[in-house]
Amino acid sequence: MVKVIYITGSGRSGSTLLSALLGPASSAIGVGELAKLPHSGWIDGEYCACGLTVNCCPLWSEIREVWCRKTGAEVHDLAQVQLAVERSRHLYRLVFGAGRNHFAEYGRLVGGVYDAIAEVSGAEIIIDASKNPLRALALNRIPTIDLRLIHLVRDVRGVAWSLMKRFAKDARSGVHQSIAGQSPLGSTAQWSLVNLMAEWAMSAMPHESRMRLRYEDLISRPASILDNLGQIADLEVREAVAKIDSSATITFGHMVAGNRVRMSPGESIKPDLEWRQVMDASVQRKLWIAAWPLMRRYGYALR
CB 123 within 8 A of CB 29: yes
302 inside domain: no
Mind giving me the DSSP string for 158-219? HHHHHHT--B--BGGGTB-S-BPPPPHHHHHHHHHHHHHHHHHHHHTS-GGGEEEEEHHHHH
More confident residue, 195 or 248: 195
CATH number, domain at 201? Answer: 3.40.50.300
120 inside domain: yes
The whole-chain average pLDDT of the chain stands at 90
Residue 170 and residue 18: Cα distance in Å, rounded?
24
303 inside domain: no
Q: What beta strand segments (E) does 228-292 contain?
A: none
More confident residue, 33 or 103: 33
Going by C-alpha positions, the residue among 27, 205, 8, 188 that lies closest to residue 117 is: 27
Mind giving me the DSSP string for 99-125? -HHHHHHHHHHHHHHHHHHHHHH--SE
Say whether pLDDT at 216 is over 70. Answer: yes
234 inside domain: yes
179 DSSP β-pair partners: 167
101 inside domain: yes
Count of the separate structural domains present in the chain? 1
219 inside domain: yes
Provide the domain limits for residue 53. 2-297
Residues 107-132: tens digit of each pLDDT: 999 999 999 999 999 999 999 999 99
Residues 23-38: tens digit of each pLDDT: 777 689 999 999 999 9
CA angle 182, 303, 291 (to 5 degrees): 45
- What does each C-alpha distance from 235 to 84, 172, 175, 217 come to in angstroms? 32, 32, 31, 19
Say whether pLDDT at 95 is over 90. Answer: no
154 inside domain: yes
Q: What type of residue sits at position 22?
A: L
Choose the most confident range, by mean pLDDT, from 9-23, 83-97, 283-297: 283-297
Residue 180 and residue 169: Cα distance in Å, rounded?
10
The β-bridge relationship of strands 125-131 and 2-8 is: parallel
